[in-house]
């Protein structure tokens, strides 16, 4: 695993895995998404989620904002967003840079009912 720095996050990432738990039980969710970190400190996320790959009714979730790194956490300060997020909310995620250009984000605070761990793969090449 590499050290977490703002520079290590810069790029376009594609969602490759989403682990959702309701309390302690796994919930099977299908998701596609894109996460973009810029060197100027901007972050944007767009995801489509549904109960199965074949489902034609999907829920889109998205947000934009600013980000920075604090230790082993990435902090997203939201400016624009869709449900279930709120503008001006701060999202803290424990971030791990994994082998094969992967990034794992896990909520720092566990929710009362639902938790969601996301694994992303770097999709672009940096100059």
* Domain-wise residue ranges, the chain: 6-122
CATH classification for the domain delimited by 6-122, as one of 3.40.50.12280, 1.10.580.10, 3.30.365.10, 2.40.128.280: 2.40.128.280
**pTM confidence score:** 0.88
Q: pLDDT tens string for the chain (127 positions)? A: 567 999 999 999 999 999 988 878 888 888 999 999 999 999 999 999 887 766 666 788 999 999 999 999 999 999 999 988 888 889 999 999 999 999 999 988 765 677 889 999 999 655 4
Exposure b/e, 52-78, CB count within 10 A at least 16 = b: eeeeeebeebbbebebebeeebbbbeb
């Amino acid at each position: 695993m590499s050290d977490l720095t703002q520079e290590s996050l810069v790029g376009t990432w594609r969602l490759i895995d989403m682990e959702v738990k309701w309390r302690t039980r796994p919930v099977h969710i299908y998701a596609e998404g894109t996460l973009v970190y810029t060197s100027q400190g901007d972050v944007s996320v767009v995801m489509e989620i549904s109960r199965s790959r074949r489902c034609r009714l999907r829920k889109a979730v998205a947000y934009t904002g600013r980000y920075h790194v604090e230790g082993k956490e990435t902090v997203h300060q939201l400016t624009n967003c869709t449900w279930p997020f709120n503008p001006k909310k701060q999202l803290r995620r424990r971030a791990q840079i994994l082998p094969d250009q992967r990034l794992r984000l896990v909520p720092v605070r566990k929710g009362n009912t639902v938790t969601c761990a996301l694994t992303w793969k770097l999709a672009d090449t940096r100059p």
